[in-house]
Amino acid sequence: MPIGRSSFRCISAATAANPIARSAPQPKTFDRLHQPAAGPGEPYASGWIVSQRKWAKGDAPGATGRVLTHAGSNTFWFCVTWLAPERDLALLLTCNQWGDTAVQAANEAARRLMAQEGR
């Protein structure tokens, strides 16, 4: 399944009762936004770091475990997002503080959630 369709489903599900949902981007728009730019360096796609993780690998032939992740802070809060389209899974972890402790806590929470998923 292309990454855009999974993300599109998340947005559609979250906004189905909202009239704004009719103006949500189409799957092909997400496909384009989630494609890394050409060139050397870490794959970066419109704000998402594109990588692979074992826990994200789907069951379909040719599955690679592709993930998209983004993290950031407003210096008061910390948030990290992981998208695993092959598993139709999205994680959003938020902490109401910023700093090394918050980053470590969010990473540990993500690790534990993946362990619960059996991966």
Using alpha carbons, list the distances in angstroms from residue 1 to 6, 55, 104: 7, 17, 31
pLDDT at 21: 54
pLDDT (tens digit, 9 = 90+) per residue, 11-22?
545 444 555 555
How many domains, the chain? 1
Element (H, E) at 45: strand 44-45
pLDDT (tens digit, 9 = 90+) per residue, 22-71?
566 666 776 777 777 777 777 877 788 899 988 888 899 999 998 888 88
CA dihedral over 112, 114, 116, 119, signed as positive or negative: negative
pLDDT at 63: 93
Tokens of 109: 């929470």
Of residues 7 and 101, which shows the higher confidence score?
Answer: 101
pLDDT at 5: 47
pLDDT bin (cut points 50, 70, 90) of residue 117 is: low
Evaluate if pTM is beyond 0.75: no
pLDDT at 43: 84
Range of the domain at 48: 3-116
Mean pLDDT rounded to a whole number for the chain: 77
